């Protein structure tokens, strides 16, 4: 009897297993780190190798020494590229194309997504699905018919768009608009219906509802879509390769390949440098906008 009484007073005598939780967690973390390290090595080796090679002169690259180390670092490749007006033209063309494509994409897709998600009209659901299906058609399938379309367009109107950098501004949105519209439809759908009803009662028309409520609230989604559109426009290779040929009309990815590979002579140092310079802007943009990308601006909109 008395023994029971003491146990009752001192609480449960069974050992409490604090450990199980943290042991599980540790095991999960070990595996997480293992795979993270594997993936980091897998994905970072090429850029590191590019960076190492970009600091070498052509002679050093040709030497049979350890390729993973720079023995005589030099900036000669960077000087050569950034000093060449041809390369600067590529950068300029790429920048123009990307900025214009992003602008067109965002205007079109935000308005389209708003209409498809909020202004219920006949066939809006079908249209929304159709938009997404557009994205599923690969660009390798499209460039020949598109090329033919521009050729016919030239015959009919006399306006030559082929081999002009701005033809890309017309073509890229076929890739970016469907996907961005789809992202934005999802984002707008997460905004509670009462928010637009409140705005409607407050006296907002559809344009005001879009600009004053939807765009600010969906900003993280808009930034995500912008990053996507920029990445697609900046890194696109197939379309510019097919639609532009003169060296003053080329964008960076194609420009590097076509001007730095002369016949069977590969200027590896400059190719690697050019690739690094090309990869830089998306990296910088991701780094700066990542916080926005993640921020949950809609928190507190309705329920707490």
Partner 1 sequence: MAQVTLHKVVKNYDETPAVRGIDLDIADKEFVVLVGPSGCGKSTTLRMIAGLEDITGGEIAIGGHVVNDVPPKDRDIAMVFQNYALYPHMTVFENMSFGLRLKRVPKDEIRQRVENAARILDISELLDRKPKQLSGGQRQRVAMGRAIVRDPKVFLFDEPLSNLDAKLRVQMRTEIKKVHQKVRTTTVYVTHDQVEAMTLADRVVVMNAGLIEQVGSPNELYHHPRTRFVAGFIGSPAMNFVPCRLEETSGALRILLPGGHAFAVPAERTDRYRQYAGNADLVFGLRPEHITETHRNIEPNQESFEVTLEVTEPMGMETLVYFQLDGAEVCGRVNPAAGAEDGRPMTLLADLNHMHLIDGKSGLVL
The per-type count for the chain, helices as H runs and strands as E runs, is 16, 2
Residue 301 binds partner 1, judged by CB under 8 A:
yes
Give the separation between CA 213 and CA 195, rounded to whole angstroms.
8
- Considering the rule CB under 8 A, would residue 304 count as an interface residue with partner 1? yes
Q: How far is the CB of 121 from partner 1 (least distance, A)?
A: 14
Q: Applying CB under 8 A, which of residues 8, 63, 197, 291 lies at the interface with partner 1?
A: 197
By the rule CB under 8 A, 213 interacts with partner 1: yes
SS3 content of the chain, % helix, strand, coil (to 5): 75, 0, 25
In sequence order, the β-bridge partners of residue 262 are 265
Which among 43-51, 101-109, 214-222, 245-253 is the span making contact with partner 1, rule CB under 8 A?
A: 214-222
Closer residue to partner 1 in complex, CB, 290/295: 295
- Provide the minimum distance between the beta carbon of 298 and partner 1 in the complex, in angstroms, as a whole number: 6
Residue 291 lies near partner 1 (rule: CB under 8 A): no
Cα dihedral 194→197→203→205 (10° resolution): 120
Q: Closer to partner 1 by CB, 26 or 212: give it.
A: 212
Write the CB contacts of 261 (distance below 8 Å, at least 6 apart in sequence).
267, 271
Question: Contacting partner 1 (CB under 8 A), which of 76, 108, 204, 242?
Answer: 204
Q: What are phi and psi of 150, to 5 degrees?
A: -70, -35
Minimum Å gap between C-beta 119 and partner 1 is 14
**Tokens for 294?**
């993640």
Q: Which of 202, 237, 283, 295 binds partner 1 (CB under 8 A)?
A: 202
The dihedral through the CA atoms of 112, 189, 235, 99 has a sign that is positive
Among 161, 177, 183, 199, binds partner 1 (CB under 8 A): 199
Answer whether 131's CB lies under 8 Å from 125's CB: no
Binding pattern for the stretch 177-196 against partner 1, x by CB under 8 A and - elsewhere: ---------------x-xx-
Which of 174, 39, 45 has its CA nearest to residue 105? 174
- Please give the residue ranges that form the binding site for partner 1 (CB under 8 A): 192, 194-195, 197-205, 208, 212-213, 216-217, 219, 297-304
């Amino acid at each position: 009897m008395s023994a029971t009484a003491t146990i009752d007073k001192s609480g449960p005598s069974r050992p409490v297993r604090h450990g199980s939780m943290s042991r599980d967690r540790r095991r999960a973390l070990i595996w997480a780190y293992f795979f993270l390290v594997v993936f980091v090595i897998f994905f970072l080796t090429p850029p590191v190798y590019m960076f190492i090679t970009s600091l070498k002169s052509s002679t050093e690259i040709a030497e049979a020494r350890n390729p993973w180390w720079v023995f005589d670092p030099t900036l000669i490749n960077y000087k050569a590229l950034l000093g060449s007006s041809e390369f600067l033209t590529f950068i300029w063309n790429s920048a123009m194309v990307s900025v214009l494509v992003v602008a067109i994409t965002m205007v079109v897709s935000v308005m389209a997504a708003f209409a498809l998600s909020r202004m219920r009209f006949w066939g809006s659901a079908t249209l929304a699905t159709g938009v997404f299906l557009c994205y599923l058609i690969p660009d390798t399938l499209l460039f020949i018919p598109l090329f033919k379309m521009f050729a016919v367009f030239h015959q009919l109107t006399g306006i030559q768009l082929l081999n002009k950098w701005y033809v890309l501004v017309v073509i890229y949105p076929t890739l970016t608009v469907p996907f961005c519209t789809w992202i934005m439809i999802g984002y707008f759908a997460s905004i509670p219906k009462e928010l637009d009803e409140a705005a409607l009662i407050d006296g907002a028309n559809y344009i005001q509802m879009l600009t004053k409520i939807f765009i600010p609230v969906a900003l993280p989604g808009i930034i995500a879509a912008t990053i996507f559109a920029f990445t697609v426009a900046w890194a696109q290779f197939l379309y510019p390769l097919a639609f532009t040929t003169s060296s003053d009309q080329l964008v960076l990815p194609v420009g590097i390949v076509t001007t730095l590979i002369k016949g069977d002579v590969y200027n590896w140092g400059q190719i690697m440098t050019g690739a690094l310079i090309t990869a830089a802007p998306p990296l910088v943009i991701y780094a700066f906008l990542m916080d926005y990308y993640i921020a949950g601006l809609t928190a507190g909109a309705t329920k707490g």
